[in-house]
A and B are shown apart, each in its own frame.
Chain A
Amino acid sequence: MGLLSKKDAKLITDPLADNNPITLQVLGICSALAITAELKASIVMSVAVLFVLGLGNVVISLMRNIIPSKIRIIVQLIVVATLVIIVDLVLKAFAYELSKTLSVFVGLIITNCIIMGRFEAFALANGPWKSFLDGIGNSLGYAVILIIIGFFRELLGSGTLLGFKVLGDPIEKTGVYAFGYENNGFMLLAPMALITVGIIIWVQRYKNQDLIEEN
């Protein structure tokens, strides 16, 4: 990598697999369950988190030496909330349609524990550039899992991907439905998202057994 030193590149690649925020740090599970019934929602949420976490990590990192430790969590919360509200207002004024798509996610971003988790664990102790990379890396790691879950839930639950009927029409009985296949409506509910996360964790630890915790 020309642009990034080896250490910096690790900040981006680590969270993608071996230090994934969802499957290993167990952060951001709630939103991974809540909004992954469709692939599109997963992607939108991932982009929103990428933006807020990248920017938020830089802001917190710049302020890290002047934040009083007693109220640091409140300060972090204010930074996230402010960023999200600014984005929301600007979108409402200049890209109204986009803001309609995103409006539901605003509240979810503020409460997403990945953001607070990375502020607390990384940005408070590292410089802005590193924090920025860490933010990007972690939100990409988050995105990977979200998109995998969204892919399977939408495919098996509704038989569509990004709204396209890839398996045929369940009502007209075309495509695979002609052979008696049925959508599994259970995939649309939160419990199956949790089970999907479980399966991903299982596969990941099977592939890389160093990740298994000793007890």
Chain B
Amino acid sequence: MAKNTDSNTYTVLFATGMVLVVGTLLAFLASSLKEKIAENKRIEKQQNILYAMGVNENEEGSLAFVAKENVESEFSKYITKQVVIEGEKVTENNEAYLIDLKKEAASAKVASYTRKLPLFVGNKEGKEFYIVPMRGKGLWDAIWGYVALDNQLVVQGVYFDHAGETPGLGSNIKERYFMDDFIGEHILDGDTFKGITAAKGNSDPKNVDKTDFEVDAIAGATITGDGLSAMLKKDLKMYLPYLKTLKK
């Protein structure tokens, strides 16, 4: 076969052709699947929020969300109110869970912008839950989560997730054994805000002491754990003025 594939013209033409073909293919695929993907993400958000307040299908040791088919009805059943906090102003908004925390955080860098803080109020068997969404940085990429508090600001459940933490190490923040440790933890010491720290060298590995503001960190995932602690401190603090009005 005549090898004319070395000429510059051919190389340039080939590169152009390849870029066009691949670009078109991916663009077509991405735009045709966009709606389905967005819908999946919306369902996942609802599942995560419900998970944090204890509405899930967990069995001993396993982690399971409310089934995809039921999530819509379960969400409207258990989440009684969604509010948006803007400074002093608190408004009800049934689409608060769709607020993009990343965009809000970016807009809030402008001093004149009042950040919209979504908060979900849930009710399960007569007990009120206040679910705070949050977003922070792990080792490689974003981490985010939902923390459900009762009206005494004691943690009732959490759900954490991540975009790209190391498999087997940082990615374990979304495992039961890590998340379950948060249940019952306090975030306030009297009136001072302490947050919760994923602590190494924790002298309380069974997590019996619920008022030490610490949970046991994951071995080999120091930066992810630090990022998670920072996220909890920073984002819970923003909600604190409002949350304190609930505490009687």
Contact = CB atoms under 8 A, between A and B. Distances in A.
A68 interface: yes
Given A89-B30, A96-B40, A185-B219, A35 B14 contact: no
Contact-residue size bin, chain B (C-beta under 8 Å from the other chain): 20 to 34
Contacts of A171: 205-206
Determine which residue in B11, B25, B165, B167 has the highest number of CB atoms from chain A within 10 A of its CB, and name it.
Answer: B167
B166 A103 contact: no
A35 B171 CA distance: 10
B10 A36 contact: no
A104 B164 contact: yes
Interface in A83-101: 85-86, 89-90, 92-94, 96
B36 interface: yes
Contacts of A69: 5-6
A120 to B, nearest CB: 16
A56 to B, nearest CB: 14
Contacts of A25: none
A70 B11 contact: yes
Interface residues of A, number: 38
B168 interface: yes
B167 A37 contact: yes
A195 interface: no
Contact of A66 (B5, B6, B165, B171): B5
Chain B CB within 10 Å, residue with most, of A45, A85, A86, A89: A89
B44 A96 contact: yes
Interface of B: 1, 5-6, 10-11, 14-15, 18-19, 22, 25-26, 29-30, 33, 36-37, 40, 43-44, 163-169, 171, 205-206, 219-220
